[in-house]
């Protein structure tokens, strides 16, 4: 979009009434110039963000992400979701169907304003990415596109209970923080939310004495804290996820609504990361299960793409492209919407998945996952802690592992989205607390792109517990780098014959109560699951390693809560344990061939 260089934002805030009488607070920033924007009209496309984290704090500057889009000629609206910030109402659950129904009313209101050109785009990061996608369901015709960045496709598996393991290391401080914000009392907010400590949400312009804000916060007293929502929850169906909009007040999940007609018509541009919880896994499942116009980019970034998380680089480097350039790119990508008289450009009908291969450090484009050039190699666990391509020939063989409940993945993991840094460092010492199997050095470089799938022949001394598998690479100097991971709560081990609700790349587990299957104590059973997706180039001379644990103290709740657990991994010809890895070997020509590379940020 080509705009006058003298753009400065003006802003105002109002309440928008919902059909049930609840008033929703919105702040709106409009581009203003001395001469108007270059198309000669003072009407703009509107980017709207439905947030859980206050649309703006009192006496605080406008958030930079808002200003970046306004500078590019977009109006920008930021909305306090029902029951939060300065909005009225209550929250019995996060992302409830009642909350989601508000979005269409807000979009219609925005589209009808005299400064709007009739085109609305929903966008956001994290919780606001989820709401950006929810806005597409039964969306008004004014909603032309959605830009969800780092969203949760399946709320249960991608962030809350990955593999059925409760992610309390993130959820507990997150829930405490947003509840404090709902109460507008942040003086004692936990350290994860220290940027909000002592702040208060801004009232709307008409509320000069804050009487309306006090009324709204009084209604928030009925909000149900997340810790209570998660209390005693184990199975997917414990949450009574609503299948459709029925005013139940229960949590929704985007994966349940993929049949929605409007979802198939509205262009979406999804951002995800291979190192950000399950955002990459969700983005791939969404893409492969739909024919809707959709663009997906998956990089190695922190949650929100402010930092680089390439495991072969140092910790905490700036993201590429920069955060500022990302928003410029988004504005350019949507520039056609600044003129309602023109048809949408072909790029808004694009269907493509772009992914970054770490180690090779290039972007690639595909229509399939895994990409067609990948082949699946089966690597077997065998005696002497070896991992190899040849299946073991011995009739007996097993390794016993006493679960070390002090084992963990450190302070900067993919599962804590409050911590911007993701960095696992050298895992050599951490692996001493785990059961490991290591290959010979690779004779040539290889690319691994896809979802590795683990199959273990396993026995346990307890009826419940966890198994976590890390795929790693071992450098010639002994440094160990984490490539990806996967885990499963053992009572969820049953493989379902039902049709999955979306694309899966390994055994399908429903995580429902009807399929609970406790471990038969001391008996060998098969436990299979997919790991999180990745795309990495492994240098020649590096070895592959599988490291197996039964707990990650830095992320998940302990299973079982008390007592010791011993796991036995069987690895013989009658009980094969292995991992299927999607890879391709790279000859010297492939190492320098750049014909398949692309730059998704060049328009």
- For residue 298, list its beta bridge partners: 272, 355
Same domain (yes/no): 349, 411: no
Same domain (yes/no): 334, 474: no
Same domain (yes/no): 336, 462: no
Q: How many domains does the chain have?
A: 2
Same domain (yes/no): 329, 400: no
pLDDT digits (tens, 9 = 90+) for 244-265: 445 566 678 999 888 899 999 9
DSSP 204: P
Band of residue 336 on the pLDDT scale cut at 50, 70, 90: confident
Same domain (yes/no): 61, 82: yes
Compute the distance between CA of residue 414 and CA of residue 420 in angstroms, rounded to an integer. Answer: 9
Same domain (yes/no): 74, 189: yes
Question: How many CB atoms neighbour CB 265 within 10 A?
Answer: 13
Same domain (yes/no): 44, 80: yes
In the structure encoding, which two tokens stand for residue 57, read together?
A: 């704090």
Compute the distance between CA of residue 299 and CA of residue 309 in angstroms, rounded to an integer. Answer: 9
Same domain (yes/no): 156, 71: yes
**Of 340, 366, 392, which marks where a domain is finished?**
366
User: What is the mean pLDDT of the segment spanning 551-560?
Assistant: 97
Q: Of 422 and 67, which is predicted with more confidence?
A: 422
Mean pLDDT score of the chain, rounded to an integer?
Answer: 92
- For residue 528, list its beta bridge partners: 455
| pLDDT given at position 2 | 41
Containing 437, the helix (H) or strand (E) segment is: strand 435-438
**Does residue 385 carry a pLDDT above 60?**
yes
| Residues annotated as catalytic (active site), given as ranges | 126, 276, 303
Residue 59: CA atoms inside 13 Å, Cβ hemisphere, count? 3
User: What is the mean pLDDT of the segment spanning 535-539?
Assistant: 98
Residue 282 lies in a domain: yes
| pLDDT given at position 286 | 97
Share of the chain above pLDDT 70, in %: 93
- For residue 357, list its beta bridge partners: 362
Residue 92 lies in a domain: yes
Domain span including residue 468: 375-588
Rounded to 5 degrees, what angle do the CA atoms 224, 225, 226 make? Answer: 115
**Does residue 195 carry a pLDDT above 50?**
yes
Residue 96 lies in a domain: yes
Going through 127-193 in order, the beta strands assigned E by DSSP cover 143-149
**Does residue 340 carry a pLDDT above 80?**
no
Same domain (yes/no): 293, 432: no
Considering all CA atoms of the chain, what is the largest pairwise distance in Å, rounded to the nearest integer? 83
User: What is the mean pLDDT of the segment spanning 99-115?
Assistant: 97
**Of 366, 389, 405, which marks where a domain is finished?**
366
**Of 348, 366, 384, which marks where a domain is finished?**
366
Sign of the CA dihedral 380, 382, 388, 392?
A: negative
| pLDDT given at position 592 | 46
Kindly report the length of the chain: 603
Same domain (yes/no): 425, 480: yes
Same domain (yes/no): 277, 354: yes
| pLDDT given at position 10 | 82
| pLDDT given at position 303 | 97
Q: Let me know: does 144 contact 119? Beta carbons within 8 Å.
A: yes
Residue 398 lies in a domain: yes
Same domain (yes/no): 354, 412: no
Band of residue 231 on the pLDDT scale cut at 50, 70, 90: confident
Compute the distance between CA of residue 401 and CA of residue 393 in angstroms, rounded to an integer. Answer: 22
| pLDDT given at position 35 | 38
User: What is the mean pLDDT of the segment spanning 258-275?
Assistant: 94
Band of residue 241 on the pLDDT scale cut at 50, 70, 90: low
**Does residue 39 carry a pLDDT above 60?**
no
User: What is the mean pLDDT of the segment spanning 6-32?
Assistant: 89
Question: Which CATH number does the domain housing residue 463 bear?
Answer: 2.60.120.260
| pLDDT given at position 435 | 98
Residue 593 lies in a domain: no
User: What is the mean pLDDT of the segment spanning 263-280?
Assistant: 96
- Nearest CA to 380 out of 584, 585, 572, 582 is that of 572
Residue 581 lies in a domain: yes
| pLDDT given at position 358 | 97
Least confident residue range of 263-267, 452-456, 544-548: 263-267
pLDDT digits (tens, 9 = 90+) for 295-335: 999 999 999 999 999 999 999 899 999 999 999 999 989 98
**Does residue 584 carry a pLDDT above 70?**
yes
């Amino acid at each position: 979009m080509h705009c006058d260089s003298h753009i400065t934002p003006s802003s105002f805030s109002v309440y928008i009434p919902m059909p049930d009488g609840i008033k929703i607070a919105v702040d709106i920033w409009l581009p203003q110039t001395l001469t108007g924007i270059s198309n000669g009209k003072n009407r703009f496309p509107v980017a709207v963000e439905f947030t859980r984290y206050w649309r703006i704090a009192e006496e605080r500057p406008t958030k930079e992400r808002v200003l970046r889009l306004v500078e590019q000629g977009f109006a920008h609206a930021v909305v306090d979701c029902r029951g939060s910030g300065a909005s009225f109402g209550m929250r019995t659950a996060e992302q409830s169907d009642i909350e989601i129904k508000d979005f269409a009313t807000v979009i219609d209101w925005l589209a009808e304003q005299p400064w709007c050109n009739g085109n609305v785009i929903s966008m956001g990061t994290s919780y606001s990415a989820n709401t950006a996608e929810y806005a597409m369901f039964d969306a008004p015709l004014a909603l032309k596109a959605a830009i969800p960045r780092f969203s949760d496709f399946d709320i249960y598996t991608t962030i809350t209970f990955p593999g059925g393991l409760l992610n309390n290391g993130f959820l507990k401080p997150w829930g405490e923080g947003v509840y404090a914000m709902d109460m507008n009392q942040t003086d004692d907010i936990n350290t994860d939310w220290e940027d909000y400590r002592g702040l208060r949400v801004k009232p709307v312009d008409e509320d000069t004495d804050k009487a309306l804000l006090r009324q709204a916060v009084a209604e928030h007293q009925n909000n149900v804290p997340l810790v209570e929502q998660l209390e005693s929850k184990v199975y997917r169906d414990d949450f009574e996820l609503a299948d459709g909009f029925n005013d139940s007040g229960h949590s929704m999940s985007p994966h349940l609504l993929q049949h929605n007609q409007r979802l198939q018509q509205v262009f979406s541009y999804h951002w995800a990361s291979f190192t950000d919880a399950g955002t990459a896994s969700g983005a791939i499942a969404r893409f492969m299960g739909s024919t809707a116009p959709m663009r997906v980019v998956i990089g190695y970034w922190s949650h929100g793409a402010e930092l680089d998380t390439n495991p072969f680089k140092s910790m905490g480097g700036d993201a590429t492209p920069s955060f500022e350039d990302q928003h410029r790119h988004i504005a350019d990508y949507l520039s056609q919407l600044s003129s309602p008289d023109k048809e949408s450009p072909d790029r808004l009908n694009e269907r493509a998945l772009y992914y970054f291969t770490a180690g090779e450090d290039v972007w690639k484009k595909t229509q399939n996952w895994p990409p067609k050039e990948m082949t699946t190699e089966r690597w077997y666990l065998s005696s002497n802690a070896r991992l190899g391509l040849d299946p073991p020939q011995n009739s007996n063989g097993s390794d016993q592992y006493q679960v070390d409940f002090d084992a963990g993945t450190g302070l900067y993991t993919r599962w804590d989205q409050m911590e911007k840094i993701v960095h696992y460092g050298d895992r050599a010492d951490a692996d001493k607390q785990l059961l490991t199997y290591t290959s010979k050095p690779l004779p040539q470089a290889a690319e691994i792109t896809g979802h590795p799938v683990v199959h273990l022949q396993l026995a346990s001394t307890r009826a419940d517990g966890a198994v976590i598998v890390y795929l790693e690479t071992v450098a010639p100097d002994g440094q160990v780098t984490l490539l990806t991971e996967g885990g499963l709560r053992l009572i969820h081990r049953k493989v379902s014959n039902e049709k999955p609700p979306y694309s899966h790349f390994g055994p399908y587990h429903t995580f429902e109560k009807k399929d609970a299957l406790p471990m038969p104590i001391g008996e060998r059973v098969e436990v299979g699951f997919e790991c999180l997706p990745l795309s990495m180039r492994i240098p020649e001379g590096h070895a592959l390693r599988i490291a197996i644990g039964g707990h990650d103290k830095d992320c998940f709740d302990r299973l079982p809560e008390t007592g010791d657990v011993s796991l036995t991994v069987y690895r013989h010809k009658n009980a094969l344990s292995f991992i299927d890895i999607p890879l391709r070997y790279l000859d010297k020509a492939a190492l320098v061939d750049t014909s398949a590379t692309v730059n998704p940020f060049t328009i």
